[in-house]
């Protein structure tokens, strides 16, 4: 991480980056697979919000708290849908989303 990055974001950024990777893996592995819920569509939405959230935190934006609150909601939504599948990548994604939501809620407080 850059030395100029605001240290208050470090745990949240780390969780967001891990979640971003796990969502992309889940999305890729779910390509062409049937799903009876919003997985992998939830991963697409999560990826979009995570990328925006990482960018705002990196910029030390005054909107970081609001974006973290939204990110927590989207991550929870994604976790609910991914954890319903038995696939290892879905379970990993759900776990990562839950951890990210927890860190984002801390930032939004």
Query: Residue 23: which domain range?
Result: 7-108
Report yes or no on 40 lying in a domain.
Answer: yes
Which spans in 59-87 are helix H? Answer: 64-82
Report yes or no on 2 lying in a domain.
Answer: no
Give per-residue pLDDT as tens, 62-83: 999 999 999 999 999 999 999 9
CATH number of the domain encompassing residue 25? 1.20.1270.360
Query: pTM of the predicted model, to two decimals?
Result: 0.93
Report yes or no on 63 lying in a domain.
Answer: yes
Report yes or no on 17 lying in a domain.
Answer: yes
- State the total domains in the chain: 1
Report yes or no on 1 lying in a domain.
Answer: no
Report yes or no on 26 lying in a domain.
Answer: yes
Give per-residue pLDDT as tens, 19-47: 999 999 999 999 888 888 989 999 999 99
Q: Which residues 6+ apart lie within 8 Å of 101 measured at CB?
A: 71, 72, 73, 75, 76, 79
């Amino acid at each position: 991480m850059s030395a100029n990055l605001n240290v208050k974001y470090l745990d949240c950024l780390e969780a967001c980056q891990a979640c971003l990777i796990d969502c992309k893996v889940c999305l890729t592995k779910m390509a062409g697979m049937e799903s009876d819920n919003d997985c992998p569509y939830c991963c697409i939405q999560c990826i979009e919000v995570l990328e925006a959230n990482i960018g705002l935190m990196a910029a030390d934006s005054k909107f970081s708290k609001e974006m973290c609150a939204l990110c927590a909601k989207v991550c929870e939504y994604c976790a609910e849908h991914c954890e319903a599948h038995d696939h290892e990548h879905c379970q990993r994604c759900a776990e990562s989303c839950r951890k990210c939501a927890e860190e984002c809620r801390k930032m939004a407080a």
